[in-house]
Amino acid sequence: MDNIVLKSLRERRSVRSFKQEQITDEELKAVLDAGTYAPTGMNYQDPWIVAVQNPELIAQLVRMNKQFTQQEGNPYYDAPTIILVFASRPDKWANGMADGSLVLGNMMNAAHAIGLGACWINREREMFDTPEGGELMKQLGLPDGLMGVGALSLGYPAKPLSPARPRKENYYRIVK
């Protein structure tokens, strides 16, 4: 079975090299909108999405993220846009991490579908558990009780996407 959605899902790749040209507002809104249509437990719509294009704030996020990795260079791969996803801590909503992850996945697939590149970035939970992260969440107008789920580096890919690696054998099972 094949259709445009299944083809897009098979062809999407994580992009780690971006052009410095900023994406359009229309493209950004399309990706953000796709995130709002991710399934959430009980349709609670718990996640919060923050798109960052401000260079000073991006520099702060890069610095904060680098504190939790041994990785060289920019942990957001110099993308011109960073999308942060937050959700309720487990004591408030047990599905927060799963719901936020689905939001990130929807946005990654939407980005690919419109010709953008995206890469899921980790360490937002650690970043926003710090005093600096808590203060930044307040500055962003987020409610108390949230945790960082993850982020997307978003922009125009600087080079063509590579083909998919072969899938592992016996990746799935069908039990009838």
Does the predicted TM-score (pTM) go above 0.85? yes
Domain residues of the chain, as ranges?
Answer: 17-155
Q: Which amino acid is at 154?
A: L
The verdict on domain 17-155 having CATH code 3.40.109.10 is: yes
> Tell me, what's the pLDDT at 12?
97
Nearest Cα neighbor of 67 from 12, 132, 159 is 132
| CA distances in angstroms from 125 to 84, 88, 110, listed in the order given | 10, 11, 24
> Tell me, what's the pLDDT at 71?
85
> Tell me, what's the pLDDT at 157?
98
Q: Judge whether 89 and 147 are in contact, CB under 8 Å.
A: yes
**Residue-by-residue pLDDT tens, the chain, 176 positions:** 889 999 999 999 999 999 999 999 999 999 999 999 999 999 999 999 999 999 999 999 999 999 999 889 999 999 999 999 999 999 999 999 999 999 999 999 999 999 999 999 999 999 999 999 999 999 999 999 999 999 999 999 999 999 999 999 999 999 99
Q: Judge whether 23 and 155 are in contact, CB under 8 Å.
A: yes
